[in-house]
Copies of this chain bind each other. A is one copy, B any other.
Amino acid sequence: MKFRNFKLVGYVIYGRGSFNQLDEILSPNRKGDHPMVFLVDHFFEGKELVNRIPVRGNDQVVFVDVTYEPKTTYVDSLASKFKNEFGTVSGVIGIGGGSAMDLAKAVSLMMTNPGSSADYQGWDLVKVPGVYKAGIPTLSGTGAEVSRTTVLTGPTRKLGMNSDFTPFDQIVLDPELTANAPVNQRFYTGMDCYIHCIESLQGTYLNEFSRSYGEKALELCRNVFVQQDEWAANSDDQLMMASYAGGMSIAYSQVGVAHAVSYGLSYLLGTKHGIGNCIVFDKLEEYYPEGVKEFRLMVNKNKIDIPQHITKGLAEDDFNKMIDVSLGMKPLWENALGKDWEKKITREKLRQLYGTL
């Protein structure tokens, strides 16, 4: 058996108010007159946080549209723009949820790697380090802050630039930044972590490294969404660590049925990752009976709306596309159902499941 040699992020700073140290952190990474580029979730346009970004010289603050998950065309156009304007940049800083962070990772890599980001969708295709990159989550649960991928929708597929050059050089984990997230969004993104943990801990791939991170992440999610009746003083702190630990647990684990099915939704309908997983997981009693029970408890307790009937009225052709995408996620199915997964999940069964969403 071969184990993955897992590349970690370079530096981590954690603490309430640690965002205030950003100027000092970036300073030694500035290269001459080349700007730092801050890719900021458009949610923050006009908000207080923007005034706290340590802009110096010709630094750029770019509000990025994350209505949909990042596309390779968007990555390429941002990278081209910065190359045309500045030759190169000192670094790319992603401030936001998983989409803004993934975008920052991808743009950093495309400042130095030739061609289109679509050429690098896959595993270990990136051969040259990108420019300095930092990730600053303002939503907890995606794990994008520690992952070695950046999920992109390309011309032919949704797939990440998975490589040892992908992880951030620096992450800033400041729980104060997540305090004003909309309640539904905060829940969906938190569930990205929760569902991931349920899938990986019940999966057939797993070792003690990933188990210990996954268990801790799950415990922290439960502290936040199950054990307490209101959002507590330390809930943002705990959920931020849940996200980090959940992301680390990826090293030797894999997700399962919810992710495999929700990829189909996101491919066809553009459903975002967090909410898509919630929509699917809600219907997975057969596969994760205890997890789904607890999930519904959390939904009710936190007064969250899970969209229903989103596949109603789709053509058979559309269902087939989703089924194709989903069945293509072989490692996820194998992790969830074992080596003989193909006997256990048929097109008919998947068609039925998609029909309930």
A1 touches B17 (CB 8 A): yes
A329 in the interface (beta carbon within 8 A): no
As for how many copies of this chain the complex holds, the number is 2
Q: A173's contact among B209, B234, B241, by CB below 8 Å, is which? A: B209
A251 at the interface (CB under 8 A from B): yes
Q: Which residue of B lies closest to A239 (CB)?
A: B208
The CA of A209 and the CA of B238, in the complex, are separated in Å by: 8
Q: Which residues of B contact A42 (CB under 8 A)?
A: none
Determine how close the nearest CB of chain B comes to the CB of A357; give it in whole angstroms: 34
Q: Please, how many angstroms separate the alpha-carbon atoms of A215 and B212 in the complex?
A: 11
Q: 3 nearest interchain CB pairs?
A: A3-B15, A208-B237, A14-B209
- Answer whether A13 and B9 are a contact pair too, CB < 8 Å, given A208-B175, A216-B216, A245-B212: no
Q: How far is the CA of A14 from the CA of B8 in the complex (A)?
A: 13
Taking a contact as CB atoms under 8 Å apart, the answer to whether A208 and B5 are in contact is: no
Which residue of chain B has its CB nearest to the CB of A6? B12
Closest to A208 in B: B237
Output the residue of A175, A208, A244 with the most chain B CB within 10 A.
A208
Given A3-B14, A3-B15, A215-B216: 5 more A-B contacts, CB < 8 Å: A1-B15, A3-B13, A5-B170, A15-B209, A208-B241
Q: Mark A172-183, 1 if CB is under 8 A from B, else 0.
A: 010100000000
Which residues of the other chain, B, contact A220 by a CB distance below 8 angstroms? 212
Bound-state Cα–Cα, A240 to B245, Å: 17
B residues less than 8 Å from A4 (CB atoms): 13
Contact of A3 (CB < 8 Å), options: B21, B208, B240: B21
**Which B residues lie within 8 Å of A3 (CB)?**
13-15, 17-18, 21
Question: How far apart are the CA atoms of A238 and B207 in the complex, in Å?
Answer: 10
Chain B hits for A234, CB < 8 A: 208
Q: Whole-angstrom distance from the CB of A315 to the nearest CB of chain B? A: 46
In whole angstroms, how far apart are the Cα atoms of A25 and B7 in the complex?
12
- The answer to whether B208 touches A240 (Cβ under 8 A) is yes
A149 CB to closest chain B CB, in angstroms?
16
In the complex, what distance in Å separates the CA atom of A4 from the CA atom of B172?
A: 11
A residues with CB within 8 A of B: 1-18, 21, 25, 170, 173, 175, 207-209, 212, 215-216, 220, 234, 237-238, 240-241, 244-245, 251-252
- Bound CA span A272–B188, Å: 50
Say how far A206's CB is from chain B's closest CB, in angstroms: 11
Within 8 Å CB of A175, what residues of B?
A: 208
Provide the bound-state CA to CA distance between A5 and B170, in Å.
Answer: 9
Residues in B whose Cβ lies below 8 Å from that of A237 = 207-208
Chain B residues with Cβ below 8 Å from A251 are 12, 14
Residues of B within 8 A of A11 (CB): 5-8
> How close is A333's CB to chain B, nearest CB, in angstroms?
23
Chain B positions within 8 Å of A1 at CB level = 15, 17
Q: In the complex the two chains form, is B212's CB within 8 Å of A216's CB?
A: yes
Q: With the chains together, A18 CA to B2 CA distance in Å?
A: 7
Once bound together, how far apart are the Cα atoms of A234 and B208, in whole Å?
8
* Measured CA separation A13–B6 after assembly (Å): 6
Q: How far is the CA of A58 from the CA of B263 in the complex (A)?
A: 51
- Chosen A-B contacts, 23 in total, with CB atoms closer than 8 Å, are A3-B13, A3-B15, A3-B17, A3-B18, A3-B21, A5-B12, A5-B13, A5-B170, A6-B11, A6-B12, A7-B10, A7-B11, A8-B9, A8-B10, A14-B251, A14-B252, A15-B252, A16-B207, A175-B208, A208-B234, A209-B244, A212-B241, A216-B216
